[in-house]
Amino acid sequence: MQYWQSWDNSPLDEQRRIVAYLDGLQAKVNELRELQSASREELSALMPSILDKAFKEEL
């Protein structure tokens, strides 16, 4: 119960600072997800040619 009491007594400025920090982290997570998706798409596009060269022993 003390945890919630200490949270409720936090100054509003501190709560806003925490929210801003978490918003920044969420933006970074979203950016990383987009980069991961783009990388996955590039790899999927390259995989057939990589496998073709591997089976032809060109690698």
Any domain includes 4: no
**41 occurs within a structural domain:** yes
Domain interval for residue 18: 11-55
Query: What local confidence, expressed as pLDDT, does residue 59 receive?
Result: 74
Q: Which two tokens stand for residue 11?
A: 């100054």
In a domain, 3, yes or no: no
* 12-58 pLDDT tens trace: 999 999 999 999 999 999 999 999 999 999 999 999 998 989 899 88
Residue 39 lies in a domain: yes
SS (H, E, C) 23-51: HHHHHHHHHHHHHHHHHHHHHHHHHHHHH
State the total domains in the chain: 1
Domain contains 2: no
CA atoms within 13 A on the CB side of 41: 6
Whole-structure pTM over 0.75, yes or no?
no
- Asked, for residue 5, whether it belongs to a domain, the answer is no
- Amino acid identity at 7: W
Pairwise CA distance, residues 33 & 38, whole Å: 9
Number of H helices, E strands in the chain: 2, 0
50 in any annotated domain: yes
Residue 5 has pLDDT above 70, yes or no: no
